Structures are given as structure tokens and as C-alpha cells.
Amino acid sequence: MPYVSHADIGGRSGFGAVVPEPEGAVFHATWEARVLALTIALGATGRWNLDMSRSARETLPDYLDLTYYEIWLHGLEKLLIDKGLVTSDELSAGCARLAPVPVDRVLKADQVAALLAKGAPTERASVTPARFKPGQRVRTRRTPAEHHTRLPGYVRGKRGVVERVLGTHVFADSHAQGAGEDPQWLYTVVFDAAELWGSEAKPGHSVSFDAWEPYLEAA
Amino acid sequence: MEEEHSELSNVERRVRALETVMTQKGYIDPAALDVLIDTYQTKVGPRNGARVVARAWVDPAFRERLLRDATAAIAELGYSGRQGEHMIAVANAPGRHNVVVCTLCSCYPWPVLGLPPVWYKSAPYRSRVVRDPRGVLAEFGVTLPASTEIRVWDSTAEVRYLVIPERPTGTEGLSEDALAALVTRDSMIGTGLARAVGET
């Protein structure tokens, strides 16, 4: 089965108007808050990483029909089942039937503040020199990835300019596949809108994204 | 809560089942969930970012540190951690406007802005702002001069972006707290501008 991300929607049409929302309520139902908290707390078990959870969400076949926290809920259930922490029968029944599997950690209330403060920095020591420098012209990879990637479709095979070198970071593509951190240089690459959108682009519009080195070749 | 007395929806039942099974298996401590929710409902939100912006408006040395190393400068005010591990601040200026998006999911600088609004995570914004930023800004009631350059930042890696909006004119005598009150959440994403004095 080819890998399909349903989340890669930059530049697509047909989703309608944006509906602004006043500053204030962050949850629109009690269950949304529980899903956010369950996602963070179960992430602390250490059985998957952030890139694996993004991959689990973006490959949900009904991704575009779900609300945001429904995506999180279904993605979380998928990870829990895939990683063997629970069975789909147990979730349907709402009752544990099998013994738990060992996990790295069970997050306690008094550990929450420290967990959030620590975060999960992705910068790592650089062991190779950066291949590109600011001002250099680059082209992004043309071929779609057969796995989770953070190279959006709308910037594939496009020519841009390296603007900033961001250090060496955990490589999402490898990390999502369970292939370790595989740290790679990360760059901000900027594109003129005309390179991305052709004649409909307005002057003075540019778009940048953050690209790991394997996404880029010299142009 | 109200739902205790009414019929549970499918999604509510599904979440409740998940939490029950996770608790029975000992994978979670329900009290930790309550602390997590309280943190993002009452402690971490866009007022944090507004304080960062107001400080940058009144303190040129802080502004310089913020533009050079935003993670460290923001930490000076006590904001750091999850989803803000690697921060970059981008400053609006006359003729230059910045807008932030995550086209692939919902990456957002939690320590300074809290959890993202629904529109930020939704398909219309994520699909269109990279292609037609002026059209999207118009839906927020923002019209920029035709000569203003617009940069859209797509947060594809673990770097998180905070927009420093332009300081409104006529605010010279205001305190830092009064200035922070002019800094809206949307102005720090780039879909709004800071409020003028007296504007609500």
C-alpha cells in the first residue's frame, strides 16, 4: 500500500472560507480537553514519538471528515492498538481484558509541570558541516516520499533560496518510521510565490518552510 | 457537568471508554489529566506572548535579543517548554508583514500562545494562506497596502514562530501592561494587527 498523507493540503482549493474565532475558550467540549490530556499523558509512556503520532493522524482515511480532536482521538487509538497497549475489543467494550504491557512511565499529577517545562528539544550536536549556506539556491526533492515526511507537496520540485541555517535536528522522516533520530541539518528555505503558484501569484509574496538537508539539492 | 444528565454523544462515549480502559490498565493517572487541562485552560495562553511583544516594544535591547535568540529571550520572561523548544520571532515593519501557518498539521508555539484556535488547525486556513494570504487576511478584516510584502512561514519542522506586530501609533506614554493589552492572539500569528488605543 502506498503511503498517503491526507494532511498535506497546502495550496489545495475547495475547503471554503476561514472562520475567525475570538480569543478565549480553547476547548469547545469537555471531551476535547480529555483527548488533549490523554494524548500528552499517553505520549509520556514512551511507546512512540511525536513524529509517529503525526504519521498515525495524517494516514487516517477519514482525516478530512473529522474535527481536530476527533483526529487526535482516532490517531491515539490507532497508536495504542499498533503498539500493543490495548486491543480494539477492549476499546469497544470500554473495559480492560488483558494485562497491561510494560511502559517507560506513567505520568503523575505532580510530574506534569516538569514534563511540559522540559519539552522535547530536537536540536542535536552537528557532526558534519552544513552542505548549504544562506543565500544559496536550492531545489526541493521532486519525488513523493513513501513514508511520513515534512516536505509538503506544494513545495516539491521547487527552486528557492536558503535563508537561515537552523542547526542539526532529529529527522522527522526517519524518526516516524522507527529508524532512530538520524539528525540532519535544517534550513529555512524561501520561495517566491510565482515559483509555487505561477501567474496567479501576487508580487511581494513569499513562502518559507523548514527543510531538512535530505529534502534539498543544489540548484 | 451538563453532559452527566443528558445522553452522551458517540464521541463522548468513545473518549470515556478510552480513559476508562487506560486507567484500568494503569497507563494513566486521571489526576494528571486534570492538571494538564487546567494548565492549558488557565495558565498558558496568548497573554504570555502579549507580554513578550510588549517588552520588545519598550526595551530595544530585549527586542534585539528576541530577534537573535527568541528561545532564550522568551525564557527570560519565564515561558519555555513543550512546543516552544526552538523559537524564532519575526518582526513586522512598515512594508513587511509576516503570517504563520502549519500546512501539515497544527504546529503552534504553545508556551507563548497556548493551544491554537480552531481555524488555525482547519483545512481552509492551512490550504489557502500559503497561496492567497491577502484573501485570507481579508476574512480576518485585515487589508494591507498593496506595496506591503507578505511572508508566509510554514512551520514544517520543530521551530515555532512568533510574529512581533508593529507597535500602534500614539502609544508612547503607555505602560508595558497597557501595551500588552493591545496585543491580540491573531496579531502574533499574523492574521491580525495590534489594536489601536481605544479599539476593542
Q: Residue range A109-136: average pLDDT? A: 97
> Cell numbers 501609533 label which residue?
B169
Q: Which of B104, B109, B120 is nearest to B82 (CA)?
A: B109
By annotation, the residues of B acting in catalysis are: 102, 105-107
What are phi and psi for residue A95, nearest 5 degrees? Answer: -150, 130
Instruction: Decide the pairing of beta strands B159-164 and B96-101.
Output: unpaired
Angle at A12 between CA A8 and CA A14, to 5 degrees: 125
CB contact under 8 A, A206 and B152: yes
Cell numbers standing for residue A100: 497491561
Cell numbers standing for residue A123: 536540536
Give the whole-angstrom CA distance, residue B102 versus residue A8. 10
Local structure of B160: helix, strand or coil: strand
A85-122: pLDDT as tens digits: 999 999 999 999 999 999 999 999 999 999 999 999 99
Handedness of CA B131, A7, B92, A160 (dihedral sign): negative
CB-CB neighbors (< 8 A) of A35 in chain B = 15
Give the whole-angstrom CA distance, residue A38 versus residue A50. 14
In this predicted structure, the answer to whether residue A149 has a pLDDT above a threshold of 90 is yes
Residue B177: CB partners within 8 Å, gap ≥ 6? B54
Establish, for the pair of chains A and B, how many residue pairs have beta carbons separated by less than 8 Å: 263
Give the whole-angstrom CA distance, residue A164 versus residue A187. 6
Q: Are B88 and A124 in contact (CB under 8 A)?
A: no
CB contact under 8 A, B39 and A120: no
Q: Which of A199, A205, A194 is nearest to B151 (CA)?
A: A205
Q: Which of B199, B115, B192, B51 is nearest to A39 (CA)?
A: B115
Select the residue from B16, B27, B38 to test the A interface by mutation, using most A Cβ atoms within 10 A.
Answer: B27
Handedness of CA B152, B158, B159, B161 (dihedral sign): positive
> Cell numbers 529555512 label which residue?
A188
pLDDT along chain B (200 residues), means of 10: 65 98 98 98 97 98 98 98 97 98 98 97 98 98 97 98 97 96 98 91
pLDDT, residue A25, reads 83
CB half-sphere exposure, A17, CA atoms < 13 A: 9
In this predicted structure, the answer to whether residue A146 has a pLDDT above a threshold of 50 is yes
A34-81: pLDDT as tens digits: 999 999 999 999 999 999 999 999 999 999 999 999 999 999 999 999
Report the top-level CATH class of A30-118: mainly alpha
CB-CB neighbors (< 8 A) of B7 in chain A = none
In chain A, domain spans: 30-118, 123-218
Q: Which of B45, B155, B51, B158 is nearest to B111 (CA)?
A: B45
pLDDT, residue B199, reads 83
Local structure of A157: helix, strand or coil: coil
Q: Which of B106, B104, B75 is nearest to B89 (CA)?
A: B75
Give the whole-angstrom CA distance, residue A27 versus residue B1. 15
Q: Does domain A123-218 have CATH number 2.50.20.10?
A: no
Cell numbers standing for residue A6: 491526507
pLDDT, residue A2, reads 87
Structure pTM?
0.97
Per-position DSSP letters for B93-106, written without gaps between them: BTTEEEEEE-SSS-
Give the whole-angstrom CA distance, residue A45 versus residue B27. 7
CB contact under 8 A, B156 and A205: no
